[in-house]
Amino acid sequence: SITVLAAGLRLITLGKTFPIFGPIVYGIAELFIQPTVKTFLCIYTVLFLSFGMGFFMLSADSGFLDFRDLITAFISMIRGGMFGDIDYGELEGVDWFMGPLFYLLFIFMSQIVMTNLFIAIVSAEYDKASEIGQVIL
């Protein structure tokens, strides 16, 4: 696995030298070291952690296995936020009002607001990094 990782990093380094792909590869590489993107990813992690803790507290005595401890709850929030893999029926069974309310708030915050915000940040930062890549090459 270390060899595959090293080969991937080497490929990215070599990809910067190609005249067509160079600015694109450089732009993507530079994108993730921008402070705006780092700040956004930290806030996104806090969102997953806070909703994971909320769902854990809500379903502590229900036996709902997706939220049996804090680490599993956090992983379930990532799965739910990225792939929509949350069992709505079980959440409704945990608490008829708060389960669906937490679910709707989480989906609204993670999917609609944060994903659109991430796309806007990535677009703006990628344009800046791509211009720097054009100048360097």
Its pTM stands at: 0.67
More confident residue, 77 or 26: 77
Q: CB under 8 Å to 5, separation ≥6 — which residues?
A: none
Answer whether residue 81 shows pLDDT above 80.
no
pLDDT of residue 82: 75
For the stretch 10-31, pLDDT in tens is 877 777 677 776 777 777 777 7
- Whether the Cβ atoms of residue 81 and residue 48 lie closer than 8 Å to each other: yes
